[in-house]
Amino acid sequence: MKVSIFDVAKKSGLSVVTVSRVLNQSDSVRPKNREKVLQAMKELDYHPNASARSLARGKTGIIGLTLTTLHDSFFDAVVKEVNDKLAEHGYFLALSISKSYEDAFHRSLFQEDRVDGVILLSPVDEDEYVMELKKKKIPFIMIDNSRKNPSVTSIIVDNYKGGYEATKHLIDLGHTEIAHIAGPDPYLSSRERERGYLTALKDAGLEPFRIERGTFAMSSGYDIAMKWIESGNLPPAVFAADDYIALGVINACLNKGVRIPRDLSLVGFDDQIFASEFRPMLTTVRQPADKIGAAGVELLLAAINDSTKRNVTIQIEPELIIRETTARKT
């Protein structure tokens, strides 16, 4: 026979109301009584119905997450961490893969009665998302937002530090002619990585060898590197704004017989899965997806439980991972 809440009440010697309050994590239950209920649930092997609990709390038990692509192992790792952490708190994750906020909202996933909160992962049309979610009074946080915004809670990686450390690594190896393939200018991450690159050079008394504006794509790195090689202007060291750009550079060099790292030292950014799978293995700056995802869940659940909480910006430190694509200048 299926165990019910009434059986738990009888076993614990407490009222059904008290058991219900324990199930809904109410603060009004005395610790001693809470322990009695939890022990009774354990002994009876009672598992409350998740949907019933959500309904009782006026919640859906679902968190929405929107992103523009799944063809990115860094995003994949963040989503996995978010999903795992939400599961620990009894929530389900619903994904919306959308190129714009119109797509996300027209699909009606992010409505007041469908999700308890929303995570925006590297959103495009950031201001429109913020305006719509605030209008609907849906709790939300942003991860890897395009600009600093004190009116929302967000998590960003210290991209400035990452760009600085990547460039300083090349300088420490004796390189004085260091080029940068930057990411798209609208992204805060691109601008901050470039700023770190420029500051590291300035601190070392060096000038930028060359800055090229690219996109976060292999084809971008490939085209830029091919242009350098064919014009005879290939720099001896390159800091690429992300690993996809760096892989494109490697591909161009392999096609033209340029040896890495003997002829060209290269640093990427993100530490995508392939960074340690291809040969030579890519020196890169790691974004800690586990810390980012865990912090995102913690901040969102805090916002859901207390709408009066102040907005905060959490900055997470990246880590330089030295592998095989960088070497001392000969």
pLDDT at 155: 95
Q: How confident is the model at residue 107 (pLDDT cuts 50, 70, 90)?
A: low
188-201: pLDDT as tens digits = 899 999 999 999 99
**Range(s) of the chain covered by CATH 1.10.260.40:** 5-48
Answer yes or no: is pLDDT of 100 > 80.
no
Three-class HEC string of the chain: CCCCHHHHHHHHCCCHHHHHHHHCCCCCCCHHHHHHHHHHHHHHCCCCCHHHHHHHHCCCCEEEEEECCCCCHHHHHHHHHHHHHHHHCCCEEEEEECCCHHHHHHCCCCCCCCCCEEEEECCCCHHHHHHHHHHHCCCEEEECCCCCCCCCCEEEECHHHHHHHHHHHHHHCCCCCEEEEECCCCCHHHHHHHHHHHHHHHHCCCCCCEEEECCCCHHHHHHHHHHHHHHCCCCCEEEECCHHHHHHHHHHHHHHCCCCCCCCEEECCECCHHHHCCCCCCEEEECCHHHHHHHHHHHHHHHHHCCCCCCCEEEECCEEECCCCCCCCC
The answer on pLDDT for 284 being more than 70 is yes
Which band of pLDDT confidence, cut at 50, 70 and 90, is reported for residue 20? confident
Residues of the chain with CATH 3.40.50.2300: 62-157+289-316, 159-287
* Topology annotation, domain 5-48: 434 Repressor (Amino-terminal Domain) (1.10.260)
Q: From CA 77, how far away is CA 297, in angstroms rounded?
A: 14
Q: 159-287: what fold? A: Rossmann fold (3.40.50)
Domain boundaries 62-157+289-316, corresponding CATH code: 3.40.50.2300
